[in-house]
A and B are shown apart, each in its own frame.
Chain A
Amino acid sequence: MLAKFIFVLVALAKANGQDIDSYLRRLSESLENRDRDLIMKTLETIPESLLADPQCGFRVGLLLHQRGFSDVARTYVQRAASAHPNRADYVFLLGSVLVEMEEFAPAALLLGPLADFEKAPASVDALIGRAHLGLGNYSKAAVSFERAIAKQPSDPAFQVQLAHVAFRSGRQDEGIRQLRSARERIGTSQALNEKLSELELNLAAGALSQSEPAIARMVLAEVGSNQQKTERFRLLQANMLQLENQNEEAIGYLNQASIDYPKSAQIPFAVGLSHYNLGRFREASIWFKRAAERGPHLAQASHYQGLCAAKLQDLPAAESFARRAVSLEGRNDLYRYQLGWVILQEGKQGEAETLLREIVRDSPAYVPALVELGRMLLQRDAPADAIPYLARVVTQDPRLDQPHYLLSQAYRRLGRIKQADLSLREFRRLKEFERSQMTKGQSSQGQVAVGEVKANVQ
């Protein structure tokens, strides 16, 4: 309701021809709601004549980027930077947007010349460093971060980034050395120590999100003792144990942590996750329930309760939890997709189709929904309708095997055998590649060549 109301206000403002500040205020309000539809509609209300001014476009882009909508910001920022390619602030913002969108190569290319300016702030070097890091150019990244450190030695952020480069390039000792050097450099300043610890926790969290628990373990060991008592530290430590497949240890650790944080919702959630990993879905469900009770807005807890119910073959309960997760975080594609999947399992095709179409409309690049919609249409004997969704996934990420298989089935049913065979050939190629990667990933002990097998049987 609120969103609709704001939209009406924005429309009225458009009619009144107000200046860019008032539009930015409204855009800021839309961004609070995190509702992509509303944001797009608000943007549409800004007169093109205003947006044609690069300064206005820049401000709109900056606001969007700062609030986490870099993909939307890109159009405006790009336009401003194209109009004034010599404006360092415009170029810097475009570089930030590109780095955020993980388009590291164009970002590095764009930002490179900025570094040549003597007065370029340390943040420019750091941004270039991030772009090189994303590209895996570790030596270049290190040079950039070192330059940033030289310009602003009091900020531990750049040294933590340098440590990050070292970890990513497999130089673990150097990473640890950088973290310790940062701590020495900042001395006894409590604020800076806290900032460093916070940065270290971010670094550990990043390593965990990249499934690199070994790096996280090293980084967490460096975190200041005062930070080791925080809830965040404990959760990261537990997450690290989970990734190391030490779920029992994680449960023990979290049980201790829960004494210090008896009202925490995240701790029981993490305990639930460990039980879930261990295949104890009933027990996990109890912990997720506890998390949901302590954090009534913790949609993730409801989402996982739904997953547990599905594993335990209780689809009505799975649906109910999935609905709760969606009601808490209505824009979360994963939760909406999970709800769609459950209701499809229950045979409610019509409702599932509506939901999947909504997800695809709101997030046109969300692969699971595109694939599931294609699959559902194929199963409903509508191969021609399925093809556009599946083809979109193939264009978006041609390395995914599943859409190629579904496309081959769709084409075959339509009698387009040549295309069906082509899709199937690509599917098989990807499957073979996947299989070879899997074999490569196994320890050498895990592989047995046929030639090694002796006829030890009678």
Chain B
Amino acid sequence: MRRFLIVPAVMSCMALAGVVLGTEGLETFEDVSARSGVSFQHRSGGGAKDFLVETVGSGVALFDYNNDGLIDIYLVNGAQLIGNRVRPIAGGGARLYKNVGGMRFADVTAESHVANSGWGMGVAAADYDNDGWADLYVTNYGQNVLFHNNGNGTFTDVTARAGVVAGNWSTGASWGDYDGDGLLDLYVARYVAFDPAVTPRRGADRTCQYHGALVACGPRGLPGLPDILYRNNGDGSFADVTAKAGIEDPGYYGFTVLWLDYNRDGRPDIFVANDATPNFLWRNNGNGTFTEVGAETGLAYNSHGAEQSCMGAAAGDYDQDGLIDIFVTNFSEDDNTLYRNDGDGAFSDVTRQTGLAGKSWLELGWGAGILDFDNDGGSEIFVANGHIYPEVQKYRMDFTYRQSLQLFRWNHRGKFEEITGKSGKDFVTPRSARGVSFADLDNDGCVDVVINNLDAAATVLQNHCPATNRWIAITLEGTRSNRDAVGALVTVTGGGQTHTAELIPANGYMGTSDKRMWFGLGTQAKITRVDVTWPSGQKQRIENVKSNQILAVREPRGANDAR
């Protein structure tokens, strides 16, 4: 394979030498939900799941809404259909939990005014107006809502003024600065033009059957909705530039959106995981327009040339070659797919080569992440699962409705090995997991997990990673770039290891993860340098950095400050 960026062989060998391969598995995830104070209960229609809208669940945002250095939790909630109209469920609604330290959280929904009353789907947290406070965009089946963070613990619904309603059924949303003006723009994925009054009922045709069971219809056979790109005008309003930017979505069923600069041309591109239709890769042309290159780059389909039912998507450099790869989760009886970034503008489906084939046929995947959970310097792939049809249980199929999480560890020899069973008893508890986001909730250097489970209580998984392994977290503040530094590329070098990550907070399934960037270092205490390529294109290097710290890096205002 031809690649633009090749990690020298010597470096690769050295990287292996510095890695502690935990052969015993992680054994580290503990469900601390009950004592955490996170009492959130997700609700999504009735138990029979007559419509698809009741099955897809909701996302979670992990962000620091009050800038106290502790990551807070925002959990999106569903609703119900009564007489074909969306109605809230008593005790439902989204919830904001303030992190009060020690893995304890307090419900501050009421005083913060962020209780989304619609049928919530996704959430994208980012400081869109560069005022230093993280705002929230919540997608709904219904009108979407933009909550502006007032900086005093409260939010204001500014949707109407901002002009980002979208309408009908939006799913994933994600912030990124496509035009390089230092303001975050917004891409909103949309799903089905859904109206329960005219949507066929279960079993109506072959798209409403699963292994002989009559199930909720769709998305195949139902009309799709085109995605929307909003440009940030910088005055609190947004312009719908979808057509102008060349985002011509024929109505594919969109779910999760990732902004990433896949071809390293300095311009953020957009990947959209689509359900039952080909995925999109919108290549940024650098002139305010995009070209769809999913099929050309190999991301639209799997290696069989088949479009999959992609739900979640995660980006990360799993093989430490300095290039950001993509992992998508799929339906049962199909593989989750890992696409390796070949560095020449194309991706290869390496699911089979990396040992991931046939490992998720009974599972139906949603949220996912490529992260280093044990700080050993290598990546793990985290997958949240849960079937959409309650009928799988009723008809005694071998698929279960509630399913275990899965974890796969990169063995540095070209394969992922499943370590689900070694990741703690709380890890394998069957759940109807949907949205998953990742953050270091207790600032101990281990990446924790929050899961929004369909029709169930949320799960807070505390990660007790090995203390022997070192780590560094980097929090970026843009000055010329967008303040959140979304799209920044960071390389951490030390002890013969090189780790690369791009800041992509919307990563997983319709949610937002901690925007601090986490790097596991193995036993290497010394970091020779940290290199940051800011979204503005400015490069910055910090040398001789201590490990086991959260390092704050501010973008230099001028070129002279770059070192």
Contact = CB atoms under 8 A, between A and B. Distances in A.
Contact of A454 (B195, B220, B251, B303): B195
Interface of A: 245, 247-248, 277-283, 310-313, 315, 344-345, 347, 375, 378-379, 381, 401-402, 404-406, 408-409, 412-413, 420, 424, 427-428, 431, 438-439, 441-443, 445-450, 452-458
B219 to A, nearest CB: 11
User: Which 6 residue pairs of A and B lie closest in terms of their CB atoms, listed nearest first?
Assistant: A405-B305, A279-B397, A279-B211, A446-B205, A457-B142, A453-B195
Most buried by A among B168, B225, B398: B398
B346 A412 contact: yes
A379 B303 contact: yes
A375 B205 contact: no
Contacts of B206: 441-442
Interface residues of B, number: 67
Contacts of A344: 352
Contact of B205 (A427, A442, A452, A456): A442
Given A313-B362, A375-B304, A458-B118, A447 B221 contact: yes
B419 interface: no
A299 to B, nearest CB: 23
A453 B295 contact: no
Interface in B345-397: 346, 348-350, 352-353, 355, 357-359, 361-362, 392, 395-397
B91 interface: no
A280 B84 CA distance: 34
Interface in B286-313: 295-296, 298, 301, 303-307
Nearest to A443: B205
A14 B286 CA distance: 75
A282 B200 contact: no
B204 A448 contact: no
Contact of B223 (A277, A282, A409, A453): A453
B304 A345 contact: no
B221 A446 contact: yes
A448 B198 contact: yes
B304 A310 contact: no
A119 B278 CA distance: 61
13 contacts: A247-B212, A278-B396, A279-B395, A279-B397, A280-B396, A313-B362, A345-B358, A347-B353, A404-B305, A424-B296, A448-B222, A453-B223, A456-B195
A409 B84 CA distance: 46
B247 to A, nearest CB: 17
Contacts of A449: 223
Most buried by A among B143, B222, B352, B359: B352
Contacts of A310: 358, 361
A365 B397 CA distance: 36
A448 B195 contact: yes
**Residues of B contacting A: mostly:** loop
Contacts of A455: 167-168
A442 B207 contact: yes
Given A277-B211, A345-B352, A456-B197, 12 more contacts: A310-B358, A402-B306, A420-B296, A441-B206, A446-B204, A446-B205, A448-B223, A452-B195, A453-B198, A454-B198, A457-B85, A457-B118
B303 A375 contact: yes
Contact of A448 (B119, B199, B353): B199
B397 A280 contact: yes
Nearest to B398: A281
Interface string B184-227: 00000000011111111000111111111000010011110100
Interface of B: 1-2, 84-86, 117-119, 140-143, 167-168, 193-200, 204-212, 217, 220-223, 225, 251, 295-296, 298, 301, 303-307, 333, 346, 348-350, 352-353, 355, 357-359, 361-362, 392, 395-399, 415
Given A279-B211, A345-B352, A347-B355, A448 B193 contact: yes
A311 B363 CA distance: 11
A412 B296 contact: yes
Contacts of A280: 396-398
A385 B501 CA distance: 35
A406 B220 CA distance: 25
B85 A409 contact: no
A452 to B, nearest CB: 5
Nearest to A342: B358
Given A279-B397, A446-B205, A458 B295 contact: no
Nearest to B143: A458
B358 A315 contact: yes
Contacts of B167: 455, 457
**Residues of A contacting B: mostly:** helix
A446 B193 contact: no
Contacts of A281: 398
Contacts of A420: 296
Most buried by A among B222, B305, B307, B399: B305
A271 to B, nearest CB: 14
A406 B305 contact: yes
Nearest to A315: B358
B221 A439 contact: yes
B432 to A, nearest CB: 18
A280 B394 CA distance: 12
A420 B297 CA distance: 11
Contacts of B304: 375, 402
A238 to B, nearest CB: 14
Given A345-B358, A448-B200, A427 B195 contact: no
A404 B295 CA distance: 12
A344 B355 CA distance: 10
B200 A424 contact: no
B469 to A, nearest CB: 29
Given A412-B346, A445-B204, A458-B118, A277 B212 contact: yes
B208 A446 contact: yes
Contacts of A404: 305
Contact of B211 (A278, A345, A406, A408): A278
A443 B207 CA distance: 10
Contacts of A446: 200, 204-205, 207-208, 217, 221
A312 B200 contact: no
A448 B193 CA distance: 9
A447 B199 CA distance: 8
A325 B361 CA distance: 23
Contacts of A381: 1
A326 B489 CA distance: 52
Most buried by B among A280, A283, A375, A453: A453
A420 B209 CA distance: 37
B350 to A, nearest CB: 8
Most buried by B among A278, A408, A456: A456
Contact of A442 (B221, B350, B361, B399): B221
Contacts of A453: 168, 193-195, 198, 223
A420 B399 CA distance: 39
A300 B361 CA distance: 22
Most buried by B among A278, A315, A381, A448: A448
Contacts of B200: 443, 445-446, 448
Contacts of B303: 375, 378-379
Given A379-B353, A412-B296, A456 B85 contact: yes
Contacts of A402: 304-306
Contacts of B205: 442-443, 445-446
B321 to A, nearest CB: 15
B263 to A, nearest CB: 14
A232 B399 CA distance: 33
A25 B141 CA distance: 75
B352 A424 contact: no
A446 B217 CA distance: 8
Contacts of B296: 412, 420, 424
Contact of A438 (B142, B195, B220, B359): B220
A312 B223 CA distance: 34
A321 to B, nearest CB: 14
Most buried by B among A279, A449, A450, A452: A279
